[in-house]
Structures are given as C-alpha cells and as structure tokens.
Amino acid sequence: MTLKKTALVTGSVSGIGLGIAKDLAKQGYKILISDINLSVAEDVAQSINQSGGDALAFKLDVTVQADIDNVIARAEEFNNRIDVLVNNAGIQYVSKLEEFPAEKWQLITNVLLVGPAMMTKAVLPLMRANNFGRIINIGSLHGLVASPFKSAYVAAKHGIIGFSKVIALETGDQDITINTICPAYVKTPLVEKQIADTAKEHGISEEEVVNNIMLAPMPKKAFIDIEEICGSVSYLASDLAKNMTGQTMVLDGGWVAR
C-alpha cells in the first residue's frame, strides 16, 4: 500500500497559504494546517476534512523553535513523513528606514528568512529518511527587485533565494529539491493592508497605489491569481520536477523583462 504524501503549509489559514492547502488536499495530500492561532487552524482543518480531504491542525509560529519541534515530535500522526514543505508564512511593514521600528525589522527577518530556514532544517531528516522531499518557498518579486519603504521585506525575500540555492547544493545527493516562487502582487489580505499603508506613506489614494505603483511596471497590468501559484506549487511538488532545484520561478506579468 502506498502511503499518502504529506504536505506542511505554514501560514495556511488565509490568502496564498489557504489556497495552496486546499489545492493540495484536493490532490490527495494529507495536509498539515498551521498558524500561530490554533483555533483558526483547527477550523480550516475541519473544513478540509468535511470536504473529503485529510488535514491536521498545528499551532506553529515559525519564529518559535519549540513550535517547530512540536510538529516534528508528532510525526507518527502523519506516517513519519513530510513530503512537501511550503514556507508561506509572511508579514509586512511599510516604513522609511529612519522610522522603521527595530523590533519590526527583526520580526520580518525572523518570519520570512530565519523561520523558513529552521523549518527546512527540521523537515530534512524526514525527507532524507524517505529519499523524497519538495521544499517550496513562497518568495516575492521583491526577491528580485526593490520598492521603497520595504527594506526588511525586500532584504528577507532576496535572502530566501540565496538560501534556496545553498540547500539545493546540500541536498543534491537525494530526491530532494528546493525552489522559490516569486509572484508579483497577489490580492490577499496582506496586500490589501499594504495598499493602505503605502497610500499613507506616499500621501496618495489607494487607487493610485494600485495603478501607479503596484501594476505600473507590469506589462500585463494584473494581479497574480492564487490559482497560478497553486499550479506552480503542484509542478514543483511533482516527480516531474526532480531536477528543478535551487531555482526561482517568477510570476510577474513581464515585470523583470524590462
């Protein structure tokens, strides 16, 4: 009997993470739903289970090592395997560097860079034991380009691309891959708040932020759909992607082609 593959998606109760979790559940994966709020994670897992999927809920703050360790300690509940890790959890803060609270800068780095590194470190022994693993980082176009007032976010997203390249070299001896998906703006609650914050910082309307800042560099002039990211995750998680590792998959409507 072939064991069901398991996918752990961090920050999987809303936005991109929720979309990925639901899509993988439909494909037959056992899904580990995780969030800093356990009750919300439990609600999402219950919804997936009621829809015919298979999900477990975990409290997981990727900046807290004890939370990470607790997930691995419960590995028997998911057949001692994490086949796919999607490092998705994210936060944002928009401010000039001179006014950027030091603790916010540190927190963004911990969530977006240190957290994925520690999650990867935690799951690699299980992946090596099964000679299979797909680590997929949800990066950002800001891993390739910069925007003002996002110094911590841009630095961390650039960092995750470099981190992925290193781990690709370290895991090349087995059927384990690591890649980073870098979308341009996706209409999520995180981006909705970012629109408001950016409008305030620039002293312009939210409509002007969307049209003149966010979509202006994109030849296609459109937000990226969560379904596009789900499709990219599906490919990177598949056997067909066994030789795609250390790569950056860019979904940007032609932004960086300029």
| Distance between CA atoms of residues 178 and 134, nearest Å | 6
Do 137 and 90 form a contact (C-beta atoms < 8 A)? Answer: no
| Distance between CA atoms of residues 202 and 194, nearest Å | 12
Answer yes or no: do 62 and 174 share one domain: yes
Answer yes or no: do 198 and 166 share one domain: no
pLDDT single digits (tens) 49-78: 999 999 999 999 999 999 999 999 999 999
Beta bridge partners of 186: 224
| Residue 93 within any structural domain of the chain | yes
The predicted model scores a pTM of 0.94
* DSSP-derived 3-state class of residue 29: coil
Average pLDDT over all residues of the chain: 95
| Distance between CA atoms of residues 116 and 155, nearest Å | 14
| Residue 49 within any structural domain of the chain | yes
| Residue 88 within any structural domain of the chain | yes
| Distance between CA atoms of residues 238 and 236, nearest Å | 6
Answer yes or no: do 85 and 52 share one domain: yes
Answer yes or no: do 207 and 139 share one domain: no
Q: At what angle do helices 65-73 and 115-130 cross, to 10 degrees?
A: 20
What's the N-to-C CA distance of the chain in angstroms?
Answer: 51
| Distance between CA atoms of residues 137 and 56, nearest Å | 21
| Residue 255 within any structural domain of the chain | no
| Residue 256 within any structural domain of the chain | no
The two structure tokens encoding residue 218: 């994109």
The answer to whether residue 159 scores a pLDDT higher than 90 is yes
| Residue 204 within any structural domain of the chain | yes
- Strand 6-9 relative to strand 84-87: parallel, antiparallel, unpaired? parallel
Answer yes or no: do 173 and 125 share one domain: yes
Answer yes or no: do 158 and 212 share one domain: no
Specify the residue for token string 């841009």.
154
Answer yes or no: do 83 and 56 share one domain: yes
Answer yes or no: do 141 and 207 share one domain: no
Q: Give mean pLDDT, residues 4-13.
A: 96
Answer yes or no: do 141 and 73 share one domain: yes
| 153 a catalytic residue | yes
Split at pLDDT 50, 70, 90, the class of 213 is: confident
Q: What pLDDT, on a 0 to 100 scale, did the predictor assign at position 78?
A: 94
Answer yes or no: do 143 and 72 share one domain: yes
The domain tally of the chain equals: 2
Q: Give mean pLDDT, residues 162-168.
A: 98
* DSSP-derived 3-state class of residue 183: strand
What is the span of the domain harbouring residue 36?
6-183+225-247
- The catalytic position among 29, 93, 153, 185 is 153
DSSP alpha helices (H): ranges in the chain?
Answer: 15-26, 38-50, 65-73, 102-109, 115-130, 151-170, 189-202, 206-208, 226-237
Answer yes or no: do 137 and 194 share one domain: no
Compute the C-alpha angle 172/177/179, nearest 5°.
125
Q: Which of 181, 6, 168 is nearest to 88 (CA)?
A: 181
| Residue 81 within any structural domain of the chain | yes
CATH of the domain at 30: 3.40.50.720
Beta bridge partners of 182: 250
Answer yes or no: do 167 and 213 share one domain: no
